Amino acid sequence: MNLKETLERIHTSAATEFLGWLEDGIPVWEDGEEHFRRPNAQEMNAMIKFLKDNGIDRLPGEELGPDDPLAKLIQLATKRTHSPEAAE
């Protein structure tokens, strides 16, 4: 695997991980059981920085397919930041 392929895999893995945080929550272990919590402000900022670093400051047109992890991440991050709960 060359450097470009490695970096593409890292990029895809990061987008997929962030998407999982938004869809399912972040896994934490308490009393020997796995629970999930919402991302905190620092984690949300990491996702926002990731999006900005990739030139994403709005929803793209048809550039990314609906099953693309980055497209899903953008949609969920936008939804979360514009939800009534985000104002709390």
d(CA 41, CA 33): 24
Residues near 26 by Cβ (< 8 Å), separated by ≥ 6? Answer: 36, 37, 38, 39, 43
Residue-wise pLDDT for 20-79, tens only, equals 999 999 999 999 999 999 998 899 888 888 888 887 765 555 566 667 777 777 777 777
Q: What is the pTM of this model?
A: 0.59
Q: What is the rounded distance in angstroms from the CA atom of residue 65 to the CA atom of residue 81? A: 22
Look at the alpha carbons of 28, 33, 34, 40 in this order and tell me if their dihedral is positive or negative: negative
